[in-house]
Structure 1
Amino acid sequence: MSDEIEEYLDDIFSEHRVVLFMNGAVQSPADAESMMALDLLTALQIEFYPVDVSRDPRLLVAVQERSEWQQLAQLFIDGQFIVDTYNMSPTLKSKQLDKILNTKSVAFSKAAADQFREMNK
């Protein structure tokens, strides 16, 4: 991983606690996975910083190396990989995501999380 990309990631993590690495911009996600992650985080009212990895292939590789995970979108909190799109719903359904968010002191709508679980029984 290049020093330039590594510094860029370090800057993002130092400025933003909750970061979503995705394909495309918030206004126009480039794939269903990024759209699903955006929808879920928005529904939970989690404040996050979106990063479009499709604009620089080196950035995508760097994020995948940090997380040791290939799938996007990826959620990081305090520079630590938390979950990817495919596992976001199951971790929310099992309340594991609630525990992580509470442990990390990340504000979210508990009512929306409960509503999601009720709808996905």
Structure 2
Amino acid sequence: MDTQERIKEIVTSNPVVLFMKGTAQFPQCGFSGRAIQILNACGITSPFTVNVLADEEIRQGIKEFANWPTIPQLYVKGEFVGGSDIMMEMYESGELQDVFKA
């Protein structure tokens, strides 16, 4: 299975997926840590996370998958939502909470 197929499998088989640096317990960059905090604030306490630092193929492949150059990346029900800044804007407007309720 190639990297793009692996990523597609991950995002379609889990309702909430965060590709991040580190883990939910130990984020290894500030943006990834903020993404976890935003998810927790939305009541998503155990999202499926993928540590891109542990898999170079995924780390590069995820940038191509969404055509998005930065990490973290949030997917909900197989759809790309955005990175840390977009998550924050959506959270502050209430839009992110609606995404999880839908």
Shorter chain as denominator, the TM-score bin is: 0.7 to 0.9
Instruction: State the match for 1:58 in structure 2.
Output: 57
TM-score, structure 1 as length reference: 0.73
Contact conserved, 2:42 with 2:97, CA < 8 A, in 1? no
Residue 26 (structure 2) pairs with residue 28 (structure 1): yes
Secondary structure of the 1:90 match is helix
What are the superposed Cα offsets for residues 60-89 of structure 1, whole Å, 9 maximum, x if unpaired? 221111222112111101222102102211
Q: State the alpha-carbon separation in 2 of the partners of residues 90 and 44 from structure 1.
A: 13
Alignment root-mean-square deviation, CA:
1.7
Contact conserved, 1:22 with 1:53, CA < 8 A, in 2? yes
> Structure 2, unaligned stretches of length 5 or more?
none
CA apart distance, 1:21 = 0.5
The number of equivalent residue pairs is 101
Contact conserved, 1:37 with 1:85, CA < 8 A, in 2? yes
What are the superposed Cα offsets for residues 42-72 of structure 1, whole Å, 9 maximum, x if unpaired? 1221252111111122212211112221121
Q: State the alpha-carbon separation in 1 of the partners of residues 4 and 67 from structure 2.
A: 15
1:1-121 paired onto structure 2 within 5 Å = 3-46=1-44, 47-102=46-101, 105=102
Letter aligned with residue 94 of structure 1 = S
Higher Cα radius of gyration: 1
> Structure 1, unaligned stretches of length 5 or more?
106-121
Which of 93-102 and 59-68 deviates more? Answer: 93-102
- % identical equivalent positions: 27
Letter aligned with residue 62 of structure 2 = V
Contact conserved, 2:38 with 2:91, CA < 8 A, in 1? no
Secondary structure of the 2:2 match is helix
Q: Per chain length, whose mean CA-contact separation is higher, i.e. which structure has more relative contact order (CA < 8 Å, sep 6+)?
A: 2
